[in-house]
Structure 1
Amino acid sequence: MGRFKAYYKTYKKFKLGLTPQQTLFYGFLTYITAGFLILSIPFLQHSPIDWVDNLFTAASAVSTTGLLTVPLTASYNFFGQLVILILFQLGGIGYLTFTTFIILSTTRKMTHWHQKILQTEFTLPKTLRIRDFIKSVVLFTMIMETIGVVLFFVAFRGEEFTFWNALWSSIFHSISAFCTAGFSLDPNGFTAYLDNGLINTTTSILAISGSMGFIVVTDLYLFFKNRKHQLSFTTKIIFYGFLLLLTLGTILLYFTEPTLLSLSGKDRLMAAFFQSMSAMTTVGFNTVDFSAFSPAILLITIFLMYVGASPSGTAGGIKITTLSAILAIMKSGLQGKKTVTFMRKRIPKERLHIAVSTFIFYTLLLVVGTLLVSYSNDFNFEFILFEVASALGTVGLSTGITANLDNSGKIILSLLMFIGRLGVLTFGLALWYKKQKNMGSLTEEDLAI
């Protein structure tokens, strides 16, 4: 007993000594490690699975990506699939979120440690309280996933599924869609449902609801609850940016992608919207084969995956807010302004520094990841870039080469998925953060740009 207390005291000291970023790093790493060990149990498998494939699946699930190196239903039995579902549910809702919700529901008190971790994981505007935010995250998740189960069940029964298959598929795909995890029990994804309006609509509603971010959900809830509540600048940026990019992506795919031209007008519009939505929300479901897309459309899809949707949501990417900040910096620089503004609002310098750091580090990881995978895998460059962008953006869309990568390629993508879920800035701070020292002795030097 005394030894246990000593171990616990050492662990508590270690935990409290970590920065919030390091806590998130080790937290998600623990999820992946636990998932990897559980999925490695032969009882959960239909046939023996290589360790690197179990690791890849665990990383993909916790990061809510959906890329796979082995077919899901052919490799894992019901219990294995259930473990994967739990992993992407935990990954989607966030580290400590559900635990904190229980604490708030029972004691109504949140420790300072919990607040620091959650405020790091969910970058919130100052107008939102963390207490209100956490409650809205859990309740909204439960409500949307329940609605998704009902709608999917109706759709799958219409596809002549048996009752139990329809029920399990509904639960699995509803949680997968809302968490933008992209895992499907069908080895061909949703390609069989290209013209199924209910499945397309249900998936889109769930994915958009999750990826738009809990900031927007909480903000809108407070607005409808109290009309005096002002929608935050962040909510407006996310909403307008998402609508603009989704519309542009749909239009470009509808008019310029050769593989969609053979479809009828209604089916082509639905397919163009769904693929754009899937890339932008990073949900990762597809109703058409991306390997048949033209290089130009693959590049557009990569851009949508690169941007993603909203901070504090289930989507990956650099986020719409980061892209908006970068565009604002560019505009102000070209106009010779000393202050950076967007939509007639001045953006704080600390937010600009974060946006630039995120943009540069994310782009660097994308380039280095593509370079490393290209070294040992002989596939078309645009296909490799697509898979790397999909992994880092935690999207899950694929041109079909992931399963054929060598072990080094799988490990690189696993690492990128982990970084993408953690957030590139959080990952960087977890590794390299140092307390700021006195800079008074440093001299200022000019730098020609």
Structure 2
Amino acid sequence: MRLDKKASKKYKKFKLGLTPQQTLFYGFLTYISAGFLILCLPFLQNKPIGFVDNLFTAASAVSTTGLLTVPLVASYNFFGQLVIMVMFQLGGIGYLTFTTFIILSTTRKMTHWHQKILQTEFTLPKTLHISDFLKSVILFTVVMETIGAILFFIAFTGEGFAFWDALWSAIFHSVSAFCTAGFSLDPSGFAPYVDNGLINSVTSILAICGSLGFIVATDFYLLIKLKVHQLSFTTKIIVYGFLILLTLGTTLLYFTEPTLSLLEGKERFMASFFQAMSAMTTVGFNTVDIGMFSQSILLVTIFLMYVGASPSGTAGGIKITTLTAILAIMKSGLQGKKTVTFLNVRIPNERLQIAISTFIFYTLLLVVGTLLVSYTNNFKFETILFEVASALGTVGLSTGITGDLDTSGKIVLILLMFIGRLGVLTFGLALWYKKQKENPKISDADLAL
């Protein structure tokens, strides 16, 4: 008993001594480690699977990426698939979200430690309170995934699935779509359903709702519930930016991608919209063969994956808000303005610093990741860049080289998926952040730029 008490005290002291970023780091690392150990159990596998492949699957699931080095259904039985679904469900809603919701439901009190962690993971505007936001996360997730499962069940039944196959596929794909996880029970993804309007629509709605994030959902909910509530500046930027980039991506795919020209008008539009949406929301599903895309459209897709969607959502990427801040900085700099504004609203300096740090660190990881994979894998440069961008952006789209990567290449992608889910800034702060006192000896430098 004394040993247990001592161990408990040491753990509590260790936990409270961590920064919020470090807590998230160890939290998601624990999720991946636990998932890896469970997937290594032989009775969850249809055939023997290597340790690196199991680790890759666990990291992909928790990071809600969807990249796989082994075929899902051929490798894991129903219980293995269930474990994977639980992992990307937990990864999608975030670390501590579910447990804190249980605490709120039973005691109505949230500890200061829980508040710090959640406020770090979900960067919220000042108009939203963390407790209200957290409840909306769980409610919104349950409602959307339930509706999605019902509609998917109808769609898969219409495709000739048996009852139990249709039910499991509906639940699995609904959770996968909303969490933008990109895991599919079909080896070819959603390619067989390129002309199925219902499956395309349900997948798109779930992915868009999940990727636009809980900030937008909570904001619109409060707008409907409280007529005096005003949409936050963050929500407006996210919605406007998402619509502009999605329209641009769809248009470019529709008019310039040669492989899509083989499809009829309606199917061509659905495929163009779906692939732009899939990259932008980082859901990672495909209705066409990505490996057949032209170099120019691969670059467009990489850009959409690079940007992603919304903070506090299930999507990866640098986020629309970061891109907006970077563009605002560029515009203000070129105009010679001292303050940075967007849509006549001044962006605070601390937010600008976060945006710049995220932009630089994310781009650096993309370059270094591509370099490392290129050293030991002999694939075309654009396919390696695409794969790395997909892993770091937690997208899951692939040109088809994932399973053919060597061990070192797989490990690089595992690290990138983990960093992408954690968030590049959170990852950097978890490793390097230290409380520092102001140094009076530090002086301003006259740096020419």
Aligned to 1:312: 312
The residue type equivalent to 1:420 in the other structure is G
- Deviation string 1:316-369 (CA, Å, 9 cap, x unpaired) is 000000000000000000000000000110000000000000000000000000
Cα distance in structure 2, aligned partners of 1:379 and 1:397: 16
| Alignment partner, residue 408 of structure 1 | 408
Give the match for residue 230 of structure 2.
230
Q: Which amino acid aligns with 2:388?
A: V
Find out whether 1:383 has 2:383 as its counterpart.
yes
Other-structure match for 1:423: 423
**3-state SS of 1:52 partner:** helix
Aligned match of 2:130 = 130
Counterpart CA distance in 1 for 2:2 and 2:157 is 57
Structure 1 runs (4+) deviating above 2 angstroms are: none
Per the alignment, residue 42 of structure 1 pairs with 42
Q: Does 1:215 align with 2:215?
A: yes
Partner SS for 2:262: coil
Structure 2: distance between partners of 1:444 and 1:391:
39
Q: 1-10 vs 261-270, which deviates more?
A: 1-10
Counterpart of 1:169?
Answer: 169
Q: Give matches, 1:196-345, under 5 Å.
A: 196-345=196-345
Aligned-partner Cα distance in 1 for 2:265–2:239: 27
Q: Post-superposition shift, 1:262? A: 1.1
CA distance in 1, matches of 2:434, 2:7: 27
For 1:357 and 1:238, locate their aligned partners in 2 and report how far apart those are by CA, in whole Å.
Answer: 20
Q: Secondary structure at the match of 1:185?
A: coil
CA distance in 1, matches of 2:277, 2:438: 47
> For each residue in 1:93-138, what CA deviation from the matched residue of structure 2 results, as whole angstroms up to 9, or x when unmatched?
0000011111111111000000000000000001100011000000
Matches within 5 A, 1:124-163: 124-163=124-163
Alpha-carbon distance in 1 for matches of 2:325, 2:439: 27
Secondary structure of the equivalent of 1:213? helix
* CA deviations over 1:375-405 (Å, ceiling 9, x no partner): 0000010000000000000000000000000
Which residue does 1:98 correspond to in 2?
A: 98
Q: CA deviation at 1:437?
A: 1.5
**1:397 is matched with which residue?**
397
Give the C-alpha shift of residue 2 in structure 1.
1.4
Q: Deviations over 1:126-184 (max 9, x none)?
A: 11000110000000000000000000000000000000000000000000000000000
SS at match of 2:354: helix
Give 1:33's aligned residue: 33
Distance 2:234 2:337 in 1: 22
- TM-score scaled by structure 2? 1.00
Residue type of the alignment partner of 1:166: A
Q: Mind listing any 5+ residue stretches in structure 1 that lack a counterpart?
A: none
Equivalents in 2 of 1:283, 1:208: separation in Å? Answer: 9
SS at match of 2:312: coil
Counterpart CA distance in 2 for 1:173 and 1:346 is 41
Alpha-carbon shift at residue 429 of structure 1 (Å): 0.1
Per-residue CA deviation, residues 76-95 of structure 1 (Å, 9 max, x unaligned), is 00000000000000000000
Give the equivalent residue in structure 2 for 1:360.
360
Quote the residue 1:10 is aligned against: 10
| Residue identity opposite 1:168 in structure 2 | W
Q: C-alpha distance in 2, partners of 1:439/1:193? A: 62
RMSD between superposed Cα atoms in Å: 0.4
Letter in 2 for 1:182: G
Give, in whole Å, the separation in 2 of the partners of 1:15 and 1:230.
38
Partners of 2:323 and 2:140 lie apart in 1 by 27
Q: Which amino acid is the alignment partner of residue 381 of structure 1?
A: F
What is the percentage of aligned positions where both structures have the same residue?
80
Q: Structure 1 residue 441: deviation in Å?
A: 1.8
DSSP 3-state at the match of 1:161:
coil
Amino acid at match of 1:157: T
Deviation at 1:439, TM superposition (A): 2.4
Q: Which residue of 1 aligns with 2:86?
A: 86
Secondary structure in structure 2 of the residue aligned to 1:65? coil
Q: What is the distance in 1 between the residues matched to 2:43 and 2:30?
A: 22
Question: d(CA) in 1 for partners of 2:173 and 2:230?
Answer: 35
- Counterpart of 2:371 in structure 1 is 371
Structure 1 residue 445 displacement after superposition:
1.3
Name the SS of the counterpart of 1:164 in structure 2.
Answer: helix
SS of alignment partner, residue 261 of structure 1? helix
Question: In 2, distance between residues paired with 1:98 and 1:213?
Answer: 16
Question: What letter corresponds to residue 233 of structure 2 in structure 1?
Answer: F
Partner amino acid, structure 2, of 1:212: L
Q: Structure 2, unaligned stretches of length 5 or more? A: none
CA distance in 1 between counterparts of 2:150 and 2:75 reads 27
Q: Which stretch of the first structure deviates more once superposed, 183-192 or 432-441?
A: 432-441
> Using the alignment, how far apart are the partners of 2:392 and 2:275 within structure 1?
18
DSSP 3-state at the match of 2:109: coil
SS of equivalent residue, structure 1 residue 268: helix
Deviation for aligned residue 1:436: 2.5
Secondary structure class of the residue paired with 1:184: coil
Letter in 2 for 1:246: L
- 1:161-211 Cα deviation digits (max 9, x unpaired): 000000000000000000000000001000000000000000000000000
**1:126 counterpart SS class:** coil
Distance in 1 separating the partners of 2:211 and 2:173 = 16
> Given the alignment of the two structures, is residue 111 of structure 1 paired with residue 111 of structure 2, yes or no?
yes
Match of 1:212, SS state, is: helix
